[in-house]
């Protein structure tokens, strides 16, 4: 993550809160006590006008002494009585114990599960878009140390999602137990230990929205009181291909495959059930994938490409908005027939196949084994002649030679040390950088400019309505091109 020690107080407090694993992602309930009532701690809360959203679940205001405070459960324009939960020398954290004046941008969310999956749901959608763009501008100013006027000019309006709810093609459900020891499926709020049980998720496509309740009953029946080693359940559903895949993530050991296929078929109409044998935890090292029934993979249509995806392989959860990413990348690179283009962190081919279809000679680099296999299969199905390299981008990049253009779509941590210099050494005319984290993207933007590549535009794209996450498609051009 970024070192905040050299930034001003507000920047330090912003990033400290935004990266804190203990931050509660669920908006707390708003108290209805009269304005004079003390907070739950016994001390009177301070009245705080709320100014903006942070890059996180909290909104931002200032205490009477000028200290920045990050307030859960508030939105810009609220006047809130704030109960402090943590206080540090340069910032504080708190919760909205009471909303004294509601913002005109405050709305009633359709879901009150409190699982932490949609922390910005109380904020009107247009205000969400404005806040996301502001966070991208802020990242350039604070992290890349860019002039504020230039940052404002470079960052376009946030591209809205056609669906504000019901947009997710994937649910990742954690497994837990209720008070009686029975299996529950739901979400684990950021920084929380317990799983919040769900019956349905309004963020998900209609064909998988009710999957948590349906699968909970089926898996309780399947287990029959025994331990299946189940720690996670993934469900992917496509509105375009009608494919629905259930992925059961389990620890190694015996598993009732035939019974699972029969039970899950009656619980949720699916085209595939797979078992992913892996170690639990954040690393999730996959040992093997077993096809229990059906196709053994999931198919989605993105930007005129039919992609087959294995259960561990990454795919954007908002298909329609993923197509916006592809459009912006192709338009920004201005690829011509015969251009030699590298797609780093290529995944299963979201950008690779459209680049090849545009006439480019494409070399794709991907480190995840399942994605490499999927990419090769998808390229073959499309009849695309693509040079596919299974390996780490930082290691493989120096061997690629000179290129006309690059696409980079790295994980949240951004580009590894030295990758920007290696890209610059390949002397491409333009680089399209797609990012899911504005802070690490801004850090890398500064590195590109130090290497002679000027940021010419950045477009936020909202793939994740009701959350603080935003994708950024940015275009860098070699100086003198």
pLDDT digits (tens, 9 = 90+) for 105-125: 999 999 988 899 999 999 999
pLDDT tens column, 136-194:
999 999 999 999 999 999 999 999 999 999 999 999 999 999 999 999 999 998 777 79
Binned at pLDDT 50, 70 and 90, residue 88 comes out as very high
Q: From CA 238, how far away is CA 149, in angstroms rounded?
A: 42
- Show the CA angle centred on residue 243, arms to residues 237 and 262, nearest 5°: 95
Active site residue 436: yes
What residue ranges define each of the domains in the chain, with the CATH number in brackets? 46-105 (2.40.50.140), 151-161+302-478 (3.40.50.150), 170-296 (2.40.50.1070)
Q: Provide the annotated binding site for S-adenosyl-L-methionine.
A: 316, 345, 366, 409
Report the percentage of the chain scoring pLDDT > 90: 85
Structural element, H or E, at residue 82: strand 79-87
Average pLDDT in the chain = 90
Residue 21, pLDDT > 70, answer no
Bridge pairing between strands 59-62 and 68-72: antiparallel
Bridge pairing between strands 183-187 and 196-197: antiparallel
pLDDT tens column, 336-365:
999 999 999 999 999 999 999 999 999 999
Are the beta carbons of 438 and 466 closer than 8 angstroms? no
Q: Provide the annotated binding site.
A: 316, 345, 366, 409
Does the predicted TM-score (pTM) go above 0.85?
Answer: yes
Residue 41, pLDDT > 70, answer no
Q: From CA 86, how far away is CA 68, in angstroms rounded?
A: 12
pLDDT tens column, 404-441:
999 999 999 999 999 999 999 999 999 999 999 999 99
Cα–Cα distances in Å, from 382 out to 53, 300, 307, 354, 377? 43, 14, 9, 10, 9
Structural element, H or E, at residue 382: helix 369-382
Are the beta carbons of 166 and 206 closer than 8 angstroms? yes
- Which range, of 41-50, 290-299, 433-442, 443-452, averages the lowest pLDDT? 41-50
Q: From CA 236, how far away is CA 326, in angstroms rounded?
A: 21
Cα–Cα distances in Å, from 259 out to 219, 222, 273, 298, 453? 10, 7, 12, 21, 57
Binned at pLDDT 50, 70 and 90, residue 44 comes out as low
pLDDT of residue 16: 38
Of 115, 201, 297, 436, the active-site residue reads 436
- Show the CA angle centred on residue 138, arms to residues 101 and 94, nearest 5°: 40
Taking residues 221-243, report their average pLDDT: 94
């Amino acid at each position: 993550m970024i070192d905040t020690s050299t930034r001003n107080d507000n920047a330090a407090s912003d990033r400290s809160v935004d990266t804190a694993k203990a931050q509660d992602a669920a908006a707390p309930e708003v108290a209805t006590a009269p304005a004079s009532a003390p907070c739950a701690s016994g001390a009177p809360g301070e009245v705080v006008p709320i100014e903006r959203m942070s890059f996180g679940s909290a909104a931002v205001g200032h205490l009477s002494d000028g200290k920045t405070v990050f307030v859960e459960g508030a939105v810009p324009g609220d006047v809130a009585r704030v109960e402090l939960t943590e206080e540090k020398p340069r910032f504080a954290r708190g919760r909205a114990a009471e909303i004294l004046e509601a913002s005109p941008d405050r709305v009633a969310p359709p879901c009150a599960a409190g699982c932490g999956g949609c922390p910005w749901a109380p904020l009107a959608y247009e205000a969400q878009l404005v806040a996301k763009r502001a966070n991208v501008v802020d990242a350039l100013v604070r992290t890349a140390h860019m002039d504020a006027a230039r940052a404002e000019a470079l960052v376009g309006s946030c591209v809205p999602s056609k669906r504000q709810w019901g947009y997710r093609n994937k649910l990742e459900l954690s497994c837990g137990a209720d008070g009686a020891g029975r299996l529950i499926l739901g979400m684990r709020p950021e920084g929380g230990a317990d799983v919040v049980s769900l019956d349905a998720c309004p963020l998900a496509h209609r064909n998988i929205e009710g999957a948590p309740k349906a699968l909970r009953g089926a898996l309780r029946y399947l287990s029959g009181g025994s331990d299946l080693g189940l720690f996670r359940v993934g469900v992917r559903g496509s509105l375009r291909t009608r494919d629905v895949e259930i992925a059961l993530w389990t620890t190694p050991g015996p598993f009732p495959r035939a019974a699972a296929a029969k039970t899950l078929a009656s619980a949720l109409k699916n085209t595939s059930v797979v078992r992913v044998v892996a170690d639990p935890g954040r690393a999730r090292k996959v040992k093997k994938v077993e096809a229990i029934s059906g196709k053994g993979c999931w198919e989605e249509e993105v930007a005129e490409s039919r992609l087959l995806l294995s259960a561990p392989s990454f795919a954007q959860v908002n298909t329609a908005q993923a197509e916006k990413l592809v459009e912006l990348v192709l338009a920004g690179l201005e690829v011509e027939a015969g251009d030699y283009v590298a797609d780093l962190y290529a995944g299963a081919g979201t950008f690779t196949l459209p680049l090849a279809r545009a006439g480019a000679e494409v070399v794709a680099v991907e480190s995840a084994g399942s994605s490499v296999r999927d990419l090769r299969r998808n390229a073959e199905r499309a009849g695309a002649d693509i040079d596919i390299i299974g390996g780490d981008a930082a290691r493989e990049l120096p061997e690629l030679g000179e290129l006309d253009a690059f696409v980079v779509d790295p994980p949240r941590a951004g580009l590894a040390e030295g990758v920007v210099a290696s890209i610059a050494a390949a002397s491409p005319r333009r680089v399209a950088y797609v990012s899911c984290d504005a802070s690490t993207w801004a850090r890398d933007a500064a590195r590109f400019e130090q290497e002679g590549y000027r940021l010419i535009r950045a477009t936020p794209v909202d793939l994740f309505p009701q959350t603080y996450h935003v994708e950024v498609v940015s275009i860098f051009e070699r100086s003198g091109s």
